[in-house]
């Protein structure tokens, strides 16, 4: 568990979902180069607000860093421990499948309840061009609205993440989360 100190910058997961691809890549690059903490399980941090300190639940995929991020952020007001890891400790390891898919709309459902990239997108309504068959163990599926079909969005094959969305913002979000999580390592304080 890494320690979050007073004066660190927090980017909540909710901020990420409305970013353009360029902004998402900029945030990812910031997190990797600054070794920001990638939150892997919901955690509490005290942050600033207009009406005073606020105990905020940080969702999976939130970031906490010592350097100012390139998008809106909050500032921590006390020292606390969070469940997470240091992004940028190793090279990210994942594949994003190219090729054709089927355009579908529905709700993303995490199949593996312990996988942080899947949990970050769990219960999010998405429209995506997705593959019909997983190349490995499915971790996140799209439960298609009109047919109820289960289309793979993220899978694990031989220890490597496979993003099953060849194009679009849903794939960009998965690439963002997967690149940060797979680059994780211990923090300076051992978390």
For 18-27, 113-122, 133-142, which range has the lowest pLDDT when averaged over its residues? 133-142
Query: Over the stretch 14-55, which tens digit does the pLDDT of each residue have?
Result: 999 999 999 999 999 999 999 999 999 999 999 999 999 999
Higher-confidence residue of 141 and 165: namely 141
Residues 64/87, Cβ–Cβ less than 8 Å: no
Reported as type and span, the H/E element at residue 146 is: none
Percent of the chain with pLDDT over 90: 74
Taking the C-alpha atoms of residue 164 and residue 130, their distance in angstroms, rounded to an integer, is 6
Higher-confidence residue of 117 and 135: namely 117
Taking the C-alpha atoms of residue 58 and residue 75, their distance in angstroms, rounded to an integer, is 13
Longest dimension (CA), the chain: 50
pLDDT at residue 95 is higher than 70: yes
Looking up tokens 């971790």, which residue turns up? 139
Evaluated on CA atoms 59, 60, 61, 64, the torsion sign reads positive
For 81-85, 100-104, 121-125, which range has the lowest pLDDT when averaged over its residues? 100-104
| Domain locations along the chain | 3-86, 94-182
Average pLDDT value for residue range 131-158: 88
- pLDDT for the residue 187: 66
Burial class (CB in 10 A: 0-12, 13-18, 19+), 171: buried
Query: Over the stretch 158-191, which tens digit does the pLDDT of each residue have?
Result: 889 999 887 788 889 999 999 999 999 876 655 5
- pLDDT for the residue 189: 57
Residues counted in the chain:
191
Percent of the chain with pLDDT over 70: 97
For 65-69, 96-100, 169-173, which range has the lowest pLDDT when averaged over its residues? 96-100
Average pLDDT value for residue range 112-127: 91
């Amino acid at each position: 568990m890494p320690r979050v100190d007073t004066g660190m910058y927090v980017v909540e997961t909710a901020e990420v979902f409305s970013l353009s691809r360029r902004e998402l890549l900029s945030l990812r690059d910031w997190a990797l180069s600054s070794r920001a903490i990638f939150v892997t399980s919901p955690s509490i941090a005290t942050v600033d607000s207009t009406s005073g300190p606020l105990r905020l639940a940080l969702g999976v995929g939130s970031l906490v860093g010592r350097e100012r991020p390139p998008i809106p952020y909050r500032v921590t007001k006390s020292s606390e421990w969070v469940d997470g890891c240091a992004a940028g400790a190793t090279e990210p390891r994942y594949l994003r499948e190219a090729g054709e898919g089927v355009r579908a709309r529905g709700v993303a459902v995490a199949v593996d309840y312990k996988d942080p990239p899947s949990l970050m997108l769990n219960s999010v309504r998405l429209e995506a061009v997705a593959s019909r068959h997983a190349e490995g163990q499915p971790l996140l599926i799209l439960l298609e609205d009109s047919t109820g079909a289960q289309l793979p969005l993220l899978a694990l094959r031989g220890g490597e993440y496979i993003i099953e969305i060849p194009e679009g913002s849903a794939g960009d979000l998965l690439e963002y989360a997967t690149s940060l999580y797979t680059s994780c390592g211990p923090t300076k304080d051992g978390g």
